């Protein structure tokens, strides 16, 4: 039995309830053989071989959204495609957080754009830091999170952002704790699960099929991207997966033409059966190189702690993060200092590249 979703409309910013979104030429009309309704040029002189680059793209490509719906196991009405998951974060905050009144909740250390997007919109940020767990990872402090949602009346928490697998940590959020959070938060806020790195998790993880929770937990929103495992960071294509009622609210505030036609074409191709097979082949290579790097790091004393990872990067605690980053940079290898993150003093993050790139990294790293 489906749960009521009436609370979703109540969570949106009040003025959006009656707003009529801009009806672009592509959104308001379809069909026809002679298109003279969008003030477009008759052709694209610089790119005549591309055929239709003089035309505006679709507001939402049904072909692309259906391809991702099939891939993620959701309905077409539960998909919004956007300019990377970063745009989805912005859209959620613009749709549900009233400036100077509402708040988002984050769990540091976490992806920095949740707080930056909130602050630039005028929303408050409530931080409930992750806490050490017995398995050596940092995990959700569910009790504190629920308490803050229930008691912070000055800035009402509307969105709870959780990154799993975690950037910058690399581990999964405990699934039982995530479910407990959803149960206890109920209809008071949306829980936004950012799964940018989901493809790197082993197949037996419940979070690979988290979209099956959408019917049970209508407060859940899942963010996905083609930037990581699919290797399409330059195309800027991401997805919000949620109840159709949430998607309809986001459609009110998204740009009239959010994705360029080349992005739509490339993303749709990547989500074909052949594209998914190619992604999985590269994924296997990345995981092999990750295991290789982890084995090498285990033999190097300067790597004081190698954090558990299920992603395409490794977080390492070292004695002097800045010195290590400089040493690598001087040799032409770029790694990232994460020491500014709460609880991650003297930590560096290394992405998993090709075998040749890992060869070069190992030459540069201290013995």
Instruction: Please give the average per-residue pLDDT across 92-103, as a whole number.
Output: 97
Q: Is the pLDDT at 1 greater than 50, yes or no?
A: no
Residue 3, pLDDT score: 76
Domain boundaries, the chain: 6-24+59-271, 275-364
Provide the 10 A C-beta neighbour count for residue 77: 14
In the numeric block, which tokens belong to residue 239? 């997805």
pTM: 0.95
CATH number given to 275-364: 3.90.1150.10
The residue with greater pLDDT, 78 or 47, is 78
pLDDT tens for each residue of 55-74: 999 999 999 999 999 999 99
Instruction: Please give the average per-residue pLDDT across 344-361, as a whole number.
Output: 98
Strands 156-163 and 190-194: parallel
Residue 2, pLDDT score: 56
Average pLDDT, the chain: 95
Instruction: Please give the average per-residue pLDDT across 327-347, as a whole number.
Output: 97
Q: Is the pLDDT at 362 greater than 50, yes or no?
A: yes
- What phi and psi values does residue 66 have, to the nearest 5 degrees? -65, -40
CA distance 134 to 338: 23
Residue 25, pLDDT score: 83
* CATH 3.40.50.720 matches 6-24+59-271: no
CA distance 194 to 223: 5
Strands 238-241 and 220-225: antiparallel
pLDDT tens for each residue of 281-290: 999 999 999 9
Provide the 10 A C-beta neighbour count for residue 346: 18
1 in helix, strand or coil? coil
């Amino acid at each position: 039995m489906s749960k009521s979703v009436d609370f979703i409309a109540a969570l949106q910013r009040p003025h959006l309830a009656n707003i009529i979104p801009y009806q672009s030429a592509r959104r308001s009309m379809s069909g026809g053989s002679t298109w003279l309704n969008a003030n477009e040029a008759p052709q694209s002189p610089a790119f005549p071989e591309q055929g239709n680059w003089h035309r505006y793209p679709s507001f939402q490509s049904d072909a692309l959204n259906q391809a991702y719906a099939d891939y993620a196991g959701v309905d077409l009405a539960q998909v919004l495609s956007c300019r990377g998951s970063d745009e989805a974060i912005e859209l959620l905050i613009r749709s549900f957080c009233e400036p100077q009144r509402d708040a988002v909740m984050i769990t540091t250390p976490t992806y920095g754009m949740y707080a930056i997007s909130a602050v630039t919109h005028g929303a408050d940020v409530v931080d409930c830091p992750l806490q050490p767990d017995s398995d050596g990872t940092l995990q959700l402090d569910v009790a504190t999170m629920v308490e803050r949602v229930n008691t912070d009346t000055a800035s009402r928490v509307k969105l709870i952002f959780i990154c799993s697998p975690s950037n910058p940590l690399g581990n999964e959020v405990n699934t039982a704790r995530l479910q407990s959070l959803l149960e206890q938060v109920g209809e008071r806020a949306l829980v936004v699960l950012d799964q940018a790195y989901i493809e790197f998790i082993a197949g037996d993880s419940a979070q690979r099929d988290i979209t099956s929770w959408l019917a049970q937990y209508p407060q859940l929103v899942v963010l996905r991207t083609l930037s990581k495992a699919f290797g399409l960071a330059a195309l800027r294509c991401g997805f919000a997966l949620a109840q159709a009622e949430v998607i309809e609210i986001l459609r009110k505030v998204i740009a009239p033409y959010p994705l360029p036609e080349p992005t739509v074409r490339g993303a749709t191709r990547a989500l074909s059966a052949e594209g998914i097979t190619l992604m999985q082949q590269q994924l296997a290579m990345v995981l092999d190189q990750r295991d290789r790097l982890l084995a090498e790091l285990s033999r190097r004393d300067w790597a004081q702690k190698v954090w558990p990872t299920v992603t395409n990067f490794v977080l390492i605690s070292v004695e002097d993060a800045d010195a290590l980053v400089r040493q690598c940079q001087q040799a032409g290898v770029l790694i990232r200092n994460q020491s500014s993150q709460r609880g991650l003093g003297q930590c560096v993050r290394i992405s998993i590249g090709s075998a040749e790139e890992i060869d070069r990294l190992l030459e540069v790293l201290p013995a």
